[in-house]
Amino acid sequence: GENVEQHPSTLSVQEGDSAVIKCTYSDSASNYFPWYKQELGKGPQLIIDIRSNVGEKKDQRIAVTLNKTAKHFSLHITETQPEDSAVYFCAASEGNEKLTFGTGTRLTIIP
Amino acid sequence: GAGVSQTPSNKVTEKGKYVELRCDPISGHTALYWYRQSLGQGLEFLIYFQGNSAPDKSGLPSDRFSAERTGGSVSTLKIQPSEPRDSAVYFCASSSRRWPLDTQYFGPGTRLTVL
């Protein structure tokens, strides 16, 4: 089955700087890669996703890149703000099947 | 519109007791998923329902776990008998399963504590 690894497990960034979180996956059949943000006591909220037919996607301060050959994808947050502090999860799936999640990255934005 | 809702939000029970968790998906979503999250961990897939097809139960950790989805809408996850190692937050998610609108939307979760 699919295995998703996520790094780093914790990340502290000065407010205004950029944050990068990286994930690798094992199943070449995976073609859908969402990123979720989870705040304390809440369910995961989708922030951006990418499908295997594109290499990059941007939404304001957030971008995701995908390298299918190397089987890795990354989340980039620019101009970080205190409200970006949360746990971020990457995930992978084949189409609309079950998601396999990474182990999460706790991002802390230092004011 | 209304998102995915889950009840109860918090449940404390004793070892050996029956547990039932409920999920109301987004109206019109044909796919429904259950995941669980142990303390400080990522989300682990449990079971997946899609329309009238047989559910994908490959993630259920033991035969103490079962789930059903009535009328293609509400789902219940059942644990009988419950054990302390079942303590976790249980999340439900739903999706429309129509590309490219097949994003999985998660509910707020049910925090289960088995003493």
* pLDDT of res. A41: 86
Neighbours of B38 (CB within 10 A): 13
Is it the case that residue A95 has pLDDT exceeding 80?
Answer: no
- Give B 61-90 residues with CB within 8 A of chain A: none
Q: What integer best gives the mean pLDDT of chain A? A: 94
Q: Percentage of chain B with pLDDT > 70?
A: 95
* pLDDT category of residue B97 using cuts at 50, 70 and 90: low
Stretch A62-90: mean pLDDT, rounded? Answer: 96
Cβ of B44 within 8 Å of Cβ of A103? The answer is no
* pLDDT of res. B98: 62
* pLDDT of res. A26: 95
* pLDDT of res. A96: 61
Tell whether B34 lies on the interface with A, counting CB pairs under 8 A: no
Collect all residues of chain A within an 8 Å Cβ-Cβ radius of residue B94.
none
Tell whether A46 lies on the interface with B, counting CB pairs under 8 A: yes
Cβ of B42 within 8 Å of Cβ of A104? The answer is yes
Tell me the count of A-B CB pairs closer than 8 A: 55
* A64 and A91 Cβ atoms separated by less than 8 Å: no
* Bigger pLDDT: A102 vs B40: A102
* pLDDT category of residue B99 using cuts at 50, 70 and 90: low
Q: How far is CA B17 from CA B7, B47, B59, B76, in A?
A: 17, 21, 22, 16
Is it the case that residue B26 has pLDDT exceeding 80?
Answer: yes
* pLDDT category of residue B53 using cuts at 50, 70 and 90: confident
Collect all residues of chain A within an 8 Å Cβ-Cβ radius of residue B67.
none
- Closest listed residue to residue B91, CA positions, set B110, B75, B68: B110
Structure tokens at B19: 């547990």
* pLDDT of res. B114: 97
Tell whether B57 lies on the interface with A, counting CB pairs under 8 A: no
Stretch B40-44: mean pLDDT, rounded? Answer: 87
How many angstroms separate the CA of residue A44 from the nearest CA in chain B?
A: 6
